[in-house]
Structure formats: structure tokens, C-alpha cells
């Protein structure tokens, strides 16, 4: 079985490298945990085995992981644009 608590903590540590004061990033973290929870609930509702239910939860947790890097890239691009505009 997958350890949901450990996976959640690993994800939180990953997310902490991003600007948690940024509303977009904070919402992505909250969204990620909601999706993970819903995936686990759907798997349970489908009477999937425990390990499969945990796997569904983990897939939900990981479903948007690449979007954090994209958000950082957008944030840097906007920051550079604002700097150029101010010059």
C-alpha cells in the first residue's frame, strides 16, 4: 500500500520551493489535495481494492505537478516584463 501521509508530506515539501504567498501557487496546492481526496473517494465508491484506492489518491496528488514549474515560469516572465516596462 502507498503511504498517503508520507506522499502528502513529500508533495508539501516540493510545493514549498515555490512562492506560497502567491495566490496562484497556494490555490494549486489546495486544488491538488482536493483532487487527490476526490480520486480516493471515487475509487472507494467503485469498490476498488485498498492498494488501488491509494494509487488513485496518489495519481490525483500528482496530476498537476508540472503546472507548478509552469506557474513559476509565468511569474518570472511577468516580473521581467514589468521591469522592462518600468525602465
pLDDT computed for residue 85 by the predictor:
54
- In angstroms, the CA 16 to CA 24 distance is 13
pLDDT computed for residue 73 by the predictor:
65
Domain ranges of the chain: 4-86
Confidence of residue 86 (pLDDT cuts 50, 70, 90): low
Q: Do 25 and 71 touch, CB atoms closer than 8 A? A: yes
Q: Which residues contact 18 (CB under 8 A, 6 or more apart)?
A: 25, 68, 71, 72
pTM of the model: 0.77
- In angstroms, the CA 10 to CA 81 distance is 33
- In angstroms, the CA 67 to CA 28 distance is 8
Amino acid at each position: 500500500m502507498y503511504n498517503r501521509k508520507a506522499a502528502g508530506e513529500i508533495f508539501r515539501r516540493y510545493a514549498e520551493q515555490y512562492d506560497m504567498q502567491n495566490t496562484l501557487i497556494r490555490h494549486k496546492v489546495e486544488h491538488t489535495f482536493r483532487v487527490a481526496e476526490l480520486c480516493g473517494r471515487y475509487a472507494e465508491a467503485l469498490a476498488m481494492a485498498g492498494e488501488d484506492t491509494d494509487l488513485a489518491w496518489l495519481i490525483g496528488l500528482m496530476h498537476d505537478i508540472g503546472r507548478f514549474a509552469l506557474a513559476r515560469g509565468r511569474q518570472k516572465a511577468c516580473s521581467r516584463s514589468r521591469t522592462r516596462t518600468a525602465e
